[in-house]
């Protein structure tokens, strides 16, 4: 039996995960209207044997302030299901995972669409379930206000249950679904998935989010800055599985990691500083404000500390992470804003391939991760850098595959095929 190996996702987003990525001289600034660029990124990730490419999603702008929004590249881009459907027939092995919301879709349509993506790709599709916390999105769907956190998760639980029954062929004319939020009469009109069912991914980190993941998810994406946070999350979530009759290995936990890698540590630092310098202050503060769900952070002195904040209804767990870091490292609003603008609360590693591999190895072997969702700073350069520098180093250490062994996303992830 081969040793346990880590799973890797290539998280594709706009011109890059760094908020100022699009301004970098080597960033592909027209990414959001260039399908060939995405085909190339997917092929790069596939050649490097990544388990999957991953697209996050929101059905609306990211930033309500149009002046701020116009200084980022995140207001326009491809809708991910159409994007991944195009990538499906331009790649042959890599998994294709997209976010889609349980608040603004219906389970029958979502199950059918992802199953179609699964057929187009020969069993390589996955769905990242989100419940949507943004009031900007809500305003595109006739809502007068966001649903409370618990409500959104109750709808999500019912949604996921119906999708699973449809994918598993367990919903038919005799036993349709008639529930609190949804009613469905018929089975899907598409054949069964080539991998049994598309892979189900989740990212909710709150208590109710963790329970939903423990009940239904195959993969969990998470944000954790320190080893201790990552380990605590990992142990907590794996510990919840037994209650649902599942084994620890039935879920793969993949924290986000935002590496900046170069041949030497000095070069990596220089590359990172170059990106940080490109962040306008008002953009950094606005991004931090939206993570903290407060609208008037700009009123506070930018070189002063973060003010005391009321508990948030929308993103409870991530807010706690941000606050904890600002207190721990004694950061000013400007410093915190730049820090978070760069990696959006995910874990940042700046260094050589060996240094990045050391850090990943420590979390992987220390029982804090089954793999990582890699968030390159800008595209295509930083995905290329990870693929050509870090992946070979991980392979040399026996920590990552040298080639695909199976054909489906479930094969890559080592997940059971549902019956």
Residue ranges that bind other proteins, judged by CB under 8 A: 22-25, 27, 29-30, 32-33, 35, 39, 58-62, 66-67, 69-73, 75-79, 81-83, 85-86, 88-90, 104-106, 108-109, 112-113, 115-117, 119-120, 136, 139-142, 181-186, 189-191, 280
Rounded least distance, CB 306 to other proteins, Å: 25
What's the min distance (Å) between Cβ of 224 and other proteins? 28
Min separation Cβ 280 and other proteins, Å? 6
Q: How many whole angstroms separate alpha carbon 259 and alpha carbon 275?
A: 13
Query: Is the CB of 78 or the CB of 379 nearer to other proteins?
Result: 78
Q: Shortest distance, CB of residue 97 to other proteins, whole angstroms?
A: 15
Q: Please state, in angstroms and rounded to a whole number, the distance separating the CA atoms of residues 95 and 89.
A: 12
Between 58 and 354, CB nearer to other proteins: 58
**With respect to other proteins, which residue has the nearer C-beta, 182 or 227?**
182
The least distance separating other proteins from the CB of residue 365, rounded to whole angstroms, comes to 39
Q: Which is nearer to other proteins, 90 or 312 (CB)?
A: 90
What token pair was written down for 409?
């996303």
Nearer CB in complex with other proteins: 143/264: 143
DSSP string, 142-161: T-SSPPPHHHHHHHHHHHHH
From CA 231, how far away is CA 168, in angstroms rounded? 33
Closer CB to other proteins, 39 or 354, in the complex: 39
CB atoms within 10 A of CB 142: 7
Q: Measured between alpha carbons, how far is 20 from 408 in angstroms, rounded to an integer?
A: 35
Cβ burial, residue 100 (10 Å; 0-12/13-18/19+): buried
Query: Shortest approach of other proteins to residue 100 CB, angstroms?
Result: 9
Instruction: Name the residue nearer to other proteins (CB basis): 45 or 237.
Output: 45
Q: Parallel, antiparallel, or unpaired: how do β-strands 95-101 and 125-130 relate?
A: parallel
CA count, 13 A, side-chain hemisphere, 249 = 8
Distances (CA, A) of 207 to 99, 215, 222, 284: 20, 13, 13, 29
Closest approach, Cβ 341 to other proteins, in A, equals: 14
Cβ proximity to other proteins, 186 vs 365, nearer residue = 186
173 Cβ contact list (under 8 Å, min separation 6): 185, 186, 187
- C-alpha 301/C-alpha 333 separation (Å) is 8
Closest approach, Cβ 88 to other proteins, in A, equals 6
**If residue 11 lies in a helix (H) or strand (E), which one and from where to where?**
strand 7-12
Looking at the DSSP bridge assignments, the partners of residue 305 are 332
Helix (H) or strand (E) holding 178: strand 177-178
**380 cis-preceded (ω within 30 degrees of 0):** yes
Nearer to other proteins, 27 or 409 (CB): 27
In whole angstroms, the minimum distance from the beta carbon of 217 to other proteins comes to: 23
Which of the 8 DSSP states describes residue 2?
Answer: P
Long-range contacts of 115-120 (CB under 8 A, 24+ apart): 115/166, 115/167, 115/188, 115/190, 115/193, 115/198, 116/85, 116/190, 117/81, 117/84, 117/85, 117/88, 117/198, 118/193, 118/194, 118/195, 118/198, 119/190, 119/191, 119/193, 119/194, 120/85, 120/88, 120/89
Q: Which pairing describes strands 252-261 and 125-130: parallel, antiparallel, or unpaired? A: unpaired
Nearer to other proteins, 158 or 358 (CB): 158
Least gap, CB of 270 to other proteins (angstroms) = 19
Residue among 76 and 243 whose Cβ is closer to other proteins:
76
Q: What minimum distance in Å lies between the beta carbon of 179 and other proteins?
A: 9
């Amino acid at each position: 039996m081969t040793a346990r190996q880590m799973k890797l996702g290539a998280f594709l987003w706009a011109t890059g995960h760094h908020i100022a990525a699009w301004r970098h001289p080597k960033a592909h600034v027209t990414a959001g209207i260039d399908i060939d660029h995405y085909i190339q990124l997917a092929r790069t990730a596939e050649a490097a044997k990544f388990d999957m490419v991953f697209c996050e999603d929101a059905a609306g702008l990211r930033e309500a302030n149009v002046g701020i929004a116009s200084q980022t590249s995140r207001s326009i881009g491809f809708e991910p299901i159409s994007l991944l459907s195009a990538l499906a027939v331009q790649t042959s092995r890599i998994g294709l995972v997209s976010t889609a919301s349980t608040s603004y879709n219906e389970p029958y349509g979502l199950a059918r669409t992802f199953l179609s993506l699964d057929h187009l790709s020969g069993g390589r599709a996955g769905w990242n379930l989100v419940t949507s916390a943004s009031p900007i999105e809500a305003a595109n769907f006739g809502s007068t206000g966001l649903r409370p956190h618990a409500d959104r998760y109750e709808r999500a639980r019912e949604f996921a249950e119906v999708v699973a029954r449809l994918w598993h062929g367990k919903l038919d004319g005799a036993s349709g679904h008639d529930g609190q939020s949804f009613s469905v009469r018929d089975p899907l009109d598409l054949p069964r998935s080539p991998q049994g069912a598309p892979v189900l991914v989740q990212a909710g980190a709150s208590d109710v989010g963790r329970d939903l993941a423990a009940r239904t998810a195959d993969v969990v994406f998470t944000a954790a800055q320190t080893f201790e946070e990552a380990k605590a999350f990992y142990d907590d979530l794996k510990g919840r599985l037994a209650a649902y009759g599942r084994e620890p290995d039935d879920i793969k936990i993949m924290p986000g990691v935002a590496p900046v890698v170069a041949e030497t540590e000095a070069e990596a630092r220089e590359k990172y500083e170059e990106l940080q310098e490109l962040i306008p202050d008002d953009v950094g503060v606005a991004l931090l404000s939206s993570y903290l769900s407060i609208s008037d952070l700009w009123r506070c002195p930018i070189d002063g500390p973060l003010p005391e904040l009321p508990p948030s209804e929308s993103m409870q767990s991530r807010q706690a992470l941000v606050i904890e870091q600002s207190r721990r490292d004694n950061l000013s609003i400007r410093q915190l804003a730049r820090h978070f603008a760069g990696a959006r609360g995910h874990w940042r590693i700046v260094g050589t391939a060996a240094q990045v591999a050391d850090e990943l190895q420590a979390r992987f072997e220390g029982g804090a991760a089954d793999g990582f969702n890699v968030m390159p700073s800008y595209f295509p350069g930083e995905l290329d850098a990870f693929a050509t520098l870090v992946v070979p180093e991980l392979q040399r250490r026996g920590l990552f595959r040298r080639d695909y062994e199976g054909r489906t996303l479930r094969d890559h992830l080592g997940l059971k095929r549902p019956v």
